[in-house]
Amino acid sequence: MLWKRIFLLILFLFSIFSLCLAADDFKDLRRQMVENQLKKRGIKNKRVLWAMNEVKRHKFVPLQSIAYAYADHPLRIGNGQTISQPYIVALMTEIIDPKKTDRVLEIGTGSGYQAAVLSLLSGEVYSVEIIPELAKSAATRLNKLEYKNVFVKAGDGFLGWPEAAPFDCIIITCSTPRIPEPLIAQLKEAGRLILPLAEGYPQKLCLFTKDKNKMVKKYITDVLFVPMKGKVEQEKMRD
C-alpha cells in the first residue's frame, strides 16, 4: 500500500539523517538530556549525572530509533523488550548509589545501556538476560565499546548469578510481584536492591535494604516495566 511505502521512506530518511549526525551533535543531545530530563527532575548525584553524560545512548538503540535515542521515553529494542527512559535509568542508579569498589548484579540486560552506566560507577557489573539473542548482542556491544568490567550471560534472572555473589547492589529492570529468594541470598548485608514491584497497577519502584537478613522496603515512585520471564512465572502459578 502507498501509505506503507511512504512510512518506510520516512523511516529510511530518519535513519540516514541520524547516521549523518556528527559526534558533537550527539554530545549536545546528551548534555540536553542531562540538563532537561535529569537535573530538572531532581537527579542530583554528580557521579550519576557524569555517567549519563558519558555513555553514548545512541549506540544502544536500533538503527531505526537512533534519531530518538535521547528522547524522554523508552524505546523498543526487539524481542518485546525496551530500553528504559533516561530519567528512570538515572533514578534507579542514583537510588542504589553504587560505589567504585561495589559489585553490582543487574537482572535484565536488554541492550546493555543500564550496565554501561553502572560500569562507570562501580567495580564490576554482572548482568543476566533471559533472551539469548539480546544477551549475545549486548555482550558484543559492551565489549566493542570497551566496557571491560561488565560481564553478561544468558540465563534466568530469578536465579541471579550465584558464582559471582555476594553483591553490594542489585538492580532489577523488569517487574516481579516479589523479590526472588535467590537474589536476597546473593545480596550482602546492608546491600541495596531496587526493582519495580508488580503488586497491582501501576507498578511500584521500591528500594530494599538488607538488614540482619530482612529486607527493609522504601517506596520510590510509580513505574511501568516489562514483566520478568522464566521461573518467576511458575511461582505466580503457585500463588
pLDDT at residue number 81? 92
What's the pLDDT score for residue 152?
98
Direct distance between the N- and C-terminal alpha carbons of the chain, in angstroms, rounded to an integer: 48
Secondary structure (H, E, C), 54-101: HCCHHHHCCHHHHHHCCCCCCEEEECCEEECCHHHHHHHHHHHCCCCC
Domain ranges for the chain: 2-238
pLDDT digits (tens, 9 = 90+) for 137-157: 999 999 999 999 999 999 999
Q: Tell me if 202 sits within 8 A of 221, measured CB to CB.
A: no
Would you state the pLDDT for residue 233? Answer: 78
Which residue of the set 84, 119, 137, 175 is catalytic?
A: 84
Give pLDDT, residue 237.
46
Q: Which residues of the chain have pLDDT under 50?
A: 237
Give the CATH number of domain 2-238; options: 1.10.10.10, 1.10.1660.10, 3.40.50.150, 3.40.50.300: 3.40.50.150
Catalytic site includes residue 84 = yes
Lookup: cell for 60 = 544502544
